Amino acid sequence: MASTGQQARRQNTPLPGDGLDAARMPGHWLLARLGKRVLRPGGVELTGWMLDTLGVDPQDRVVELAAGLGATARLTLTRRPAAYTAVDRDPSAVAALSALTAPGPTVMRAVRSDAADTGLPDGAASVVYGEAMLTMQHYPAKRRIVREAHRLLDDSTGRYAIHELCLLPDGLDPALADRIAADLQDAIHVGARPLSPSDWSELLAIESFTVTAHKTAPMALLEPRRLITDEGLIPALRMVGRALRNPAALRRVLHMRRVFRRHSAHLGAISLVAVPTPTQA
């Protein structure tokens, strides 16, 4: 249980987006400021599948890239890994992550760094994962981040996982894919570019990973049932109440939901788990 001092630090930790107008800030920051803590496209259910499939246990050294406000970090820490390192380039996120407490003997730290160039040593981790962040990068940046994950992993025990938006089905018309990406960028004010399931697998393969498992889920981030599942009934109602009291925020949230619904047939969530591809002798 957190001490009073730890609770105070959490309450005083600024959230990303301080000083930005609600009409202009990135969508995930806006949702965080309204009280949303699970900002993953497949929700806690797909995150749980990812962690279960990774098999995080007390022997693991875990690195989470773009760890955000710590929703997945808390789930990971309940598995009591030997070490957990959160990487994020936003100082507010790093401050929030630094306020987390690790149960048992877990060595925990949060570092301010870029997911494509963490500054951590080679082979520092047995598990690396990142969620809802590769989608927001252009393709060369996606490759750099996946390459960095490969560098961080111990080849003998290493596992890597991602949890991202995906375009459905494979072979979607490129013009429609471009339209979906443009609509997403207009709604969330971030350069989102999701890939199809096969393209996500190909990205990992190009950077010397072999996919061992994958799972898709509906992209229902702002649907009432998902909100309650991910946040709990009372926090979800509080989030709605804050949005209703902030007309600019409410307009943004409703716009995001309209875009998600408009493209629901072709927009989903995906998690892939992979291991480093053995090098040829």
**Per residue of the chain (281 residues), what is the pLDDT tens digit?**
333 233 333 445 566 656 667 778 889 889 999 999 999 999 999 999 999 999 999 999 999 999 998 999 999 999 999 999 999 999 988 998 999 988 788 999 999 999 999 999 999 999 999 999 999 999 999 999 999 999 999 877 899 999 999 999 999 999 999 999 999 999 998 888 999 999 999 999 999 999 999 999 999 999 999 999 999 999 999 999 999 999 999 999 999 999 999 999 999 999 999 999 987 65
pLDDT of 11 reads: 45
CB within 8 Å of 59: residues ≥ 6 apart:
81, 82, 126
Q: CA–CA distance from 196 to each of 59, 117, 199 (Å)? A: 34, 26, 5
pLDDT of 22 reads: 78
CATH number of 39-219+266-276: 3.40.50.150
pLDDT of 273 reads: 98
The candidate with the shortest Cα–Cα distance to 66, out of 138, 108, 116, is: 116
pLDDT of 3 reads: 33
pLDDT of 156 reads: 76
CB within 8 Å of 119: residues ≥ 6 apart:
111, 113
Give the C-alpha separation, 136 to 53, whole Å.
24
- CA torsion sign, 50 to 157 to 209 to 72? positive
- Kindly report the pTM of this predicted structure: 0.90
Structure tokens at 90: 């936003």
pLDDT of 2 reads: 36
Per DSSP, helices labelled H in 3-137 are 4-12, 27-33, 43-54, 71-77, 91-98
